[in-house]
Amino acid sequence: MYAQLVETGAKAVKTLDQMEPQERAFQERINAGIKTEPKDWMPEAYRKTLVRQISQHAHSEYVGMLPEANWITRAPTLKRKAILLAKVQDEAGHALYLYSAVETLGVTRDQTYLDLLSGKAKYSSIFNYPTLTWADIGAIGWLVDGSAIVNQIPLCRCSYGPYARAMVRVCKEESFHQRQGFDIMQALCKGTPEQKAMAQDALNRWWWPSLAMHGPPDELSANSAQSMAWKIKQNSNDELRQRFIDQTAPQIEFLGLALPDADLKWNEARGHYDYGAIDWEEFFNVVNGKGPCNQERLAARNQAWEEGAWFREAMSAYAAKQEQSDMQGAT
């Protein structure tokens, strides 16, 4: 999930008869599958939850450009460079759609963005890991964008209209990202023993953080029930994690790579893959700012903000001038 640990502020999910008439009418529309639009009445907790979730998602797209941009100048061929450039550019686009969706909830884009720069807002834990070799670019597309698709397809049916609609296009682009990652892995696995070893190493390092992307286990997800009642979320974290593992384990075998987890085995009775224990302590550390690259990522984003000051000033000066000449023209 590009948004992990989203607070809903709700202690318990209310039943319809515990609600005031306005809230009940809102919940009944949600239950009937009717989308909520920016001008519709909505409970304050629903609005705040969406602001937290969509802004976290936007920040993840935006910070997520950094580990991959690190390899644009070092891509092995011109074709790979052009593909990676397009992919990183798509992620900037995803951030823009999502920052716009947050604005429809009454928060300014500047405020949302400043919350990222100050370290107040969170973004997905996955982007605080380093990209050490070219195979990491393959593993990110395949596993990280692959996990993102599993999480984001249900968001296309989310109850908030602007978020759901943004997700439709995002998901189409994510599937291109996933395929380009798998294609890099395939090329490396068919290459020299050194290239295959590089692919294996990248898989081993990215596997566990990709599983943690889906968020804490259901028994630790205090906010899931309310998000599901509001139909912001459609599936639990464990359900989505299992879906990702079930679709990815056969791809690992297809590539001829070793499984990165000794407990990863098909369970005939469950009809799913079993998997080993995820290190949740590491996950909470990374989310709370103590991952290998947290400081580097925030420093890069702060630097970009400072270096862009001249451009923002020029745009504001141009807009003011335009407004003045429009006013003169009107008189």
Which residues sit at the interface with Fe ion, rule CB under 5 A? 61, 91, 94, 145, 174, 177
Residues whose CB falls within 8 Å of the CB of residue 262, separated by 6 or more in sequence, listed in order: 276
Pick 112 or 152: Cβ nearer Fe ion: 152
Closest distance between Fe ion and the C-beta of residue 62, in Å? 10
H/E run at residue 272: strand 272-274
C-beta of 207: minimal distance to Fe ion in Å? 18
* Minimum distance, C-beta of residue 177 to Fe ion, in the bound complex (Å): 4
DSSP string, 65-96: HHHHHTTGGG-SSHHHHHHHHHHHHHHHHHHH
**Would you call 172 exposed, middle or buried from its count of C-beta atoms within 10 A (0-12, 13-18, 19+)?**
exposed
CB of 140 to Fe ion, least distance (A): 9
Q: Which is nearer to Fe ion, 91 or 136 (CB)?
A: 91
**From the CB of 271, what's the least distance to Fe ion, in Å?**
29
Nearer residue to Fe ion within complex by CB, 52 or 57 = 57
Q: Could you give the C-alpha distances from 211 to 84, 95, 144, 246, in angstroms and in order?
A: 23, 22, 9, 12
Q: Which is nearer to Fe ion, 174 or 261 (CB)?
A: 174
On whether the CB atoms of residues 54 and 98 are closer than 8 A, the answer is yes
Closest to Fe ion by CB, 75 vs 264, is: 75
HSE, CB side, 13 Å, CA atoms: give it for residue 11: 0
62: phi then psi, degrees, rounded to nearest 5:
-75, -45
Pick 61 or 261: Cβ nearer Fe ion: 61
Nearest approach, Cβ of residue 90 and Fe ion (Å): 6
